Amino acid sequence: MATQPSPQDPSATAGPSIQTEGVFNVRSFGGYASTLGPDCFTRDGLLYRAGHLKDATPRGLQQIRDLGVSTIIDLTNSGETKALFNDKSNSLGHGVRVLSLPLAKHGFSVQQLSEKYQRYMAEGEKAIAESYFKLILEGHEVIRDILLLIRDNPNDVFLIHCAMGKDRTGVIFAILLALAGVPDDIVADEYSRSEAALESALPKIAAAIGRTLPGQMDSTDPLRRARIYHRKEAMQLTLQMVEAEFGGVSQYLKKCCDIGDEDIKRIQGVLTYSRDN
């Protein structure tokens, strides 16, 4: 675990995307103010989020190593990034374990992906929030596994990713941030940063979908924009659904993930730190 920065260190506050060659949408969990205690913040050097790693250059892989990453959690389904992007398989080398924990229960289908985003375009944030809430309900076993990994490996550095690092990764990060005592509005704001982070990747994403669905996309197809559309209202609605159904993230973890109070406190202790300590 990296040493926590001093209060005077600007890295102690949540910052912009981390530039990683060949990998988009890389951000840190650390630096967000927490309501769990006085002068409490989410821990730096513990968790990172990203899109897929298939296009990471040697320099990009070294940049990930330099973050101290020891465990990669891959939320994608089998064959997903290969179908959408390319057939490369990059390795971070010895000392980094890669865990496949698909969050979505259904298998991968580009046609289903296209239909999902068509619904997003037609119905807006409500449809996105309903999709995220479904992930939270159906993916409770994976969410439990991730939280227990963090509990049991407090000195590991985790990188969590899906195909674009926005939907499934966004849901997991939202749960972790909320559990760490970060206010919902800030959680939603962190989620919305994916829109700008993925802007540069839009041509490649559109080309990948276009190759898989030939003739169904053109240069003005609004689905391209939907794939990076991340208004914070979608995550705010998702968190409101969790609150309405369970009474908050902690209660969701108790009722759906069988994680009790003692474990919740232990996990919160890993996710946060106090500058007074």
What is the tens place of the pLDDT at every residue in 221-235? 545 554 546 689 999
Q: What pLDDT is stored for residue 78 in this prediction?
A: 72
In a domain, 88, yes or no: yes
In a domain, 62, yes or no: yes
- Enter the tokens of residue 56: 């990471």
In a domain, 117, yes or no: yes
CB of 69 closer than 8 Å to CB of 56:
no
88-134 per-position pLDDT tens digit: 445 676 678 999 999 987 765 566 666 666 666 666 788 889 999 99
In a domain, 11, yes or no: no
pLDDT confidence tier of residue 12, bands split at 50, 70 and 90: very low
In a domain, 111, yes or no: yes
Residue 159: which domain range? 20-268
195-208 per-position pLDDT tens digit: 777 776 666 666 65
In a domain, 61, yes or no: yes
Q: CA 11, 12, 16, 20 torsion: positive or negative?
A: positive
In a domain, 219, yes or no: yes
Global pTM reads 0.84
Amino acid sitting at position 118: Q
In a domain, 114, yes or no: yes
For the chain, give the number of residues. Answer: 277
Q: What pLDDT is stored for residue 197 in this prediction?
A: 72
Q: What pLDDT is stored for residue 126 in this prediction?
A: 87
Number of domains in the chain: 1
Q: CA 204, 195, 193, 144 torsion: positive or negative?
A: negative
CATH code assigned at 75: 3.90.190.10
Q: Which residues contact 153 (CB under 8 A, 6 or more apart)?
A: 71
